[in-house]
Structure 1
C-alpha cells in the first residue's frame, strides 16, 4: 500500500470525474498534476501544468485511427485532438489508470474517456473503470472486463472520466480512496 506523500495523481482537471479525483487527492495529501493547454478553462487549476504546442504534439495521433479504434466519429476536430493529446500525457505519466464512464458492448468506454482507456490498454497499464450504468468497478484483465474492487497501488496514477459524474460515481471514487489509503 502506497502512502499519500509518495503518490501523484495525473488528470486534465476537467469537471466531473477528474475534479472529484483531484478533490479527494488533495484531502488525502496526494500530489496532483492537471495537464491543460493555455486557453483551456479547467475546474482544478491550482496544480495545472500548461503544455505548449510542441509538448502537446508529442501525444498526437491520427483522428482516423482514433475514430476507427473507438468505432465513432468526432466533431470539433481541433478541440478533440487537443483532448486526445492531453489524455496521452495523462495516461503516459500514471502507472495505474482509473476511469469513470460507461463500458459499451464492444468493450470500449463512451466518449473521450474511451480514448484514455484505450491508451491504458495500449500502454499495458493496470486499468479499472467504474461503469455508471452497472454501478460497479471493472478491471481490464486478459483482454476482457472483469468485476473488481480495485485499489490505488502505484506511486503514480491517472484518472479520466465523464463530466456527468453521478452520485454513485462520486461514492465509488470515495470508496476507492478509502480502500487505498486507510488511516
Structure 2
C-alpha cells in the first residue's frame, strides 16, 4: 500500500469534489413542476470558501446539471465547475492541464461508481462515510461524516490544519 493519507495532506494544493452524495446527502426532492431541490451543508460551504481564500485550487466535477448548485458554488468563490460530466476523467484531465496541476497534489472526494476512475488518478482519494463499498475500498481516507453532512468540511479542515492555514481565519478575530 502507498502512503498514509496524513503523509499526503501536506502536499495537497487542489480539492476536487463530486456534488450528489458528497456536497449533498444524495437525496433529491422532486416538485410537481419537475424542479429538483438539493440541500447543501453550510459548514461545507464555509470550508470551501476558506480553501479558495487560502489559495487552493477548488473544482467541482458532477454528473448533475442543476443551475442552483452552480450558483451556490460560484457564491463561495469556486469558478471551476463541471456539470453534466458523464466521463469525469475528461474534465479532470482538462482541469489539470489548464492549471498545470500534478495529480499527486489532488484530493478528490467521491461517493459512487462514476467517481472511481478519477479517484484512482488522484494523490488522495477520499469519500464520505456513506459512499458505496467499491469507493470505500479505493479511498485513502474515509470521512466519519456522511455526504452532505460535513464530509467536505472534514477533509478541507484537516488539510488546512496540517498546512497551518486553518487557524489563520480565527486567531485575529478571537484574541
TM-score between both structures, scaled by the size of structure 2: 0.41
**Higher share of residues assigned strand:** 1
Q: TM-score, normalised by structure 1?
A: 0.40
Choose between structure 1 and 2: higher helix proportion: 2
